[in-house]
């Protein structure tokens, strides 16, 4: 049996905690979308976030992005939100889902990056389903 040594256990523990952070970030972002909670969602916005809604992609500060999403959720309160796919690649975490309200249905995707010990959403897309 190989000897891990103290350094090996720190590397293993660090890898595991990063993966837990990814799961926690996905869980919190998914819950915010499911509840239509702009404040909880914006807590994961990068300082500059690209948000694609009906009018096309625009770049907002995290605070502006919160207000944009608050307005969207008020006009389109969620009936359901379901994640269909999620993945991870190095420092990036992404997911694809479906957002349904009484006003319509959107395919949703978001992309995050791991910086400063946590995941930040840098792109959020709501594409209407015809």
Q: What is the pLDDT of residues 79-98, one digit of tens each?
A: 999 999 999 888 899 999 99
Report the relative pairing of strands 104-115 and 92-101 from DSSP bridges.
Answer: antiparallel
**Consecutive H or E run containing 53:** strand 45-53
Q: Is 35 helix (H, G, I), strand (E, B) or coil?
A: helix
- For residue 1, what pLDDT band results from cuts at 50, 70 and 90? very low
Please write the tens of the pLDDT for every residue from 91-123. 899 999 999 999 999 999 999 999 988 999 999
Lowest mean pLDDT among 20-29, 55-64, 106-115: 20-29
Fold for 5-128, please state it.
Nuclear Transport Factor 2; Chain: A, (3.10.450)
Q: Are 33 and 99 in contact (CB under 8 A)?
A: yes
Domain assignments of the chain as residue spans, ordered by start: 5-128
pLDDT of residue 15: 45
pLDDT at 16 over 60: no
DSSP β-ladder status, 78-89 and 118-128 = unpaired
């Amino acid at each position: 049996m190989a000897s891990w040594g103290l350094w090996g256990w720190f590397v293993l523990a660090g890898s595991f905690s990063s993966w837990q952070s990814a799961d926690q970030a996905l869980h919190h972002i998914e819950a915010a979308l499911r509840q239509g909670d702009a404040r909880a969602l914006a807590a994961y916005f990068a300082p500059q976030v690209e948000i694609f809604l009906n009018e096309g992609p625009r770049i907002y500060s995290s605070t502006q992005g919160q207000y944009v999403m608050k307005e969207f959720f008020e006009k389109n309160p969620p009936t359901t939100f379901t994640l269909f796919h999620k993945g991870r690649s190095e420092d990036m975490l992404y997911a694809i889902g479906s957002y349904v309200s009484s006003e319509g249905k959107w395919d949703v995707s978001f992309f995050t990056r791991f910086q400063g010990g946590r995941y930040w959403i840098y792109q959020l897309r709501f594409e209407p389903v015809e």
